[in-house]
Amino acid sequence: MTGVLAWLAPFRTRRETVSAEERIASATQLRLTWWRFRKHRVAVWSGIVVAVFYAAALFADTIAYSDPQATDSRRSYIPPQAIHLWDSDGSLRPWVHGLKGKRDLKTFKIVYTVDPESKLYLRLFADGYPYKLFGLVPTTTHLIGVTGGNPEDGLYLLGTDLLGRDLWSRLAVATRVSLSIGLAGVAISLFLGVLLGGISGLYGGVVDTLIQRLIEIIRSIPTIPLWMGLAAALPNTWSTAQIYFAITVIISFIGWTDLARVVRGRFLALRSEDFVTAAELAGASRLRIIFRHMLPSFLSHIIAAASLALPAMIISETSLSFLGLGLRPPAISWGVLLQDAQNIQTLGIAPWLLIAAIPVIVIILAFNFLGDGLRDAADPYG
């Protein structure tokens, strides 16, 4: 019981050994932050989850086993398959039941049922559809496949959608799109936030007031209607890449305000710090003070703020795409996948479409824990 409690308490710190004092005295700000961060177990685990997700995004095509765009109307709404780990002779040899299509005599629809006769044996690093790893290396190797066969013939780990596309493979590719759009959005927000927040904190006075009022104005506007309005105006003729870029810009248009606040706050706090005064008295130039003295001391704050801003970006993209105003098919993102699950009739027939919600929730949770841990580590007193 106490073990569980201790594990849940990310904010308590372990005792520092006295012999470490010297080490601490000579460490940089970033290194200190890292040491403090390591003590937050939940945050560290969340960091690992985030890393796994991004690795999955990087190898999305390898993790997929079917072409995420390949439609097959005969295989629409196939439910997820159960994986059997042990073969009948007791050896570890994962397999799934194959499917058998039968025409329903009343509706004349093809109904897929589990074929108890057939067994499809799974294997790692099997052959599948051709793709380019990292967009460069052409290959046909996928993480999972079927021994001696084409995975597209019977492997539907998470089921299929209306058009018969494999959900597992689509989810893998969607992860890449949603996570990268989050990163790109945060990058743009970060640029705007650091720029405007820095100007605000550095110059103060009228400029500061103007930027602060601008932030207040942006924050008092309901964001989703605004995004919807802007996103809906994107021309239908735009390519997927153009839309992707435009959506990123639209969501970061709002996201930068939080970061700007953090940066400004740190700037103001640091401006009165002794070491900045000391640097000024020593005749260091303003730029040198900012980049050599001030930036390193709040880099960790920026990293923390960015990781807290990421989930908001991901939710934004997911929301917009869910509404049909964000990324549009053939692009695949978590929001696009969830759009299929929008109405209750569909959900009644194919509840597994909601599986796309799981990675969304997991990654947001992980980013929140990670960001919290980073923030506590960056500023244990703040």
Partner 1 sequence: MADVQAAEATPILAVRNLRTYFHQDEGVVRAVDGASLEVHAGRTLGIVGESGCGKSVTARSILRIVERPGRIEGGSILLQRENGSGTTETIDLTSLDPTGREMRAIRGRDIALVFQEPMTSLSAYYTVSNQIVEAIRQHGRLDKRAARQRAIDLLTMVGIPRPERRIDEYPFQLSGGLRQRVMIAMALAAEPRILIADEPTTALDVTTQAQILDLLRRLQRERGLALILITHDMGVIAEMADEVVVMYLGRVVERGPVDQIFHAPKHPYTRALLRSIPSILATPRDRLATVSGSIPHPYDRPPGCPFHPRCSDAIAGRCDRATPAMTTAPDRGAVSCFLYSEAEAVTA
Partner 2 sequence: MIAYTVRRLLLAVVTIWAISVLSFVIIQLPPGDFVDAYIAKLSASGSMVSAEEAASLRKLYGLDQPIYVQYGKWISRVTEGDFGESMEWMRPVTEVIGDRLWMTMVVSIAAIILTYGIALPIGIYSAVRQYSLGDYFFTCLGFIGLAIPNFLLALILMYLGFKLFDANIGGLFTAEYELAPWSLAKLWDLMKHLPLPALILAVAGTAQLIRIMRANLLDELRKPYVVTARARGLTETRVILKYPVRAALNPFASSLAYLFPYVVSGSIIVSLVLSLPTVGPLLLTSLVAQDMFLAGTIILMLGVMTVIGTFVSDLVLMWIDPRIRFQVET
Q: Which residues are 96's β-sheet partners? A: 120
Q: Closer to partner 1 by CB, 15 or 106: give it.
A: 15
Q: How many Cα neighbours within 13 Å face the side chain of 254?
A: 21
State the nearest-atom distance from the C-beta of 156 to partner 2, in Å.
21
H/E run at residue 103: strand 92-103
166 three-state secondary structure: strand
Q: Which of 90, 222, 283, 330 binds partner 2 (CB under 8 A)?
A: 222
Rg (CA), the chain: 26
Q: Which of 198, 322, 340, 370 binds partner 2 (CB under 8 A)?
A: 322
If one asks whether residue 71 binds partner 2 (CB under 8 A), the answer comes out as: no
- Contact assessment for residue 86 and residue 95, using Cβ atoms and an 8 Å cutoff: no
- Choose the one of partner 1, partner 2, none that binds residue 15, judging by a C-beta under 5 to 8 angstroms depending on kind: partner 1
| Structural contact between residues 138 and 48, judged by C-beta atoms closer than 8 angstroms | no
First-residue to last-residue Cα distance in the chain? 30
Nearer to partner 1, 14 or 106 (CB): 14
Quick one: which H or E segment has residue 142?
strand 137-146
Helix axes 240-271, 167-203, angle to 10 degrees: 40
Query: Interface with partner 2 by CB under 8 A: which range of 21-29, 242-250, 261-269, 313-321?
Result: 313-321
In the complex, what is the shortest distance from the CB of residue 295 to partner 2, in angstroms, rounded to a whole number? Answer: 27
Q: How far is the CB of 9 from partner 1 (least distance, A)?
A: 9
Closer by beta carbon to partner 2, 150 or else 368: 368
Q: How far is the CB of 294 from partner 2 (least distance, A)?
A: 25
Identify what 83 binds: partner 1, partner 2, none; CB under 5 to 8 Å per kind: none
Residue 368 contact, options partner 2, partner 1, none, Cβ 5-8 Å cut-off depending on partner type: partner 2
Give the residue ranges of DSSP H helices in the chain.
2-8, 21-26, 29-38, 41-58, 60-63, 167-203, 205-219, 223-232, 240-271, 274-281, 286-288, 295-323, 334-339, 344-349, 357-378
> Could you tell me the smallest distance in angstroms from the CB atom of residue 6 to partner 1?
8
Q: For residues 13 and 38, what is the distance between their CA atoms, to the nearest angstrom?
A: 10
14 contacts which partner out of partner 1, partner 2, none, CB within 5 to 8 A by kind?
partner 1
The least distance separating partner 2 from the CB of residue 206, rounded to whole angstroms, comes to 15
> C-beta of 380: minimal distance to partner 1 in Å?
15
Chain positions 74 to 113 lying near partner 2, rule: CB under 8 A, are none
Of 62, 97, 78, which is closest to residue 163 (Cα–Cα)?
78
Contact indicator for 174, 333 with CB cutoff of 8 Å: yes
Size of the residue set binding partner 2 (CB under 8 A): 44
- Work out which of 200, 318, 321, 333 binds partner 2, going by CB under 8 A: 318
The half-sphere exposure of 93 on its side-chain side, counting CA atoms within 13 A, is: 11
Nearer to partner 2, 64 or 305 (CB): 305
Beta partners for 166?
Answer: 160
Nearer to partner 1, 21 or 274 (CB): 21
Binding partner selected for residue 31 from partner 2, partner 1, none, CB under the kind-specific 5 to 8 Å limit: none
Sheet holding 110-133, edge to edge: 84-86, 92-103, 110-133, 137-146
- Contacting positions for partner 2 (CB under 8 A): 5, 8-9, 213, 216-217, 219-226, 228-230, 232-233, 235, 311, 315, 318-319, 322-325, 338, 341-342, 344, 347-348, 351, 354, 357, 360-362, 364-365, 368-369
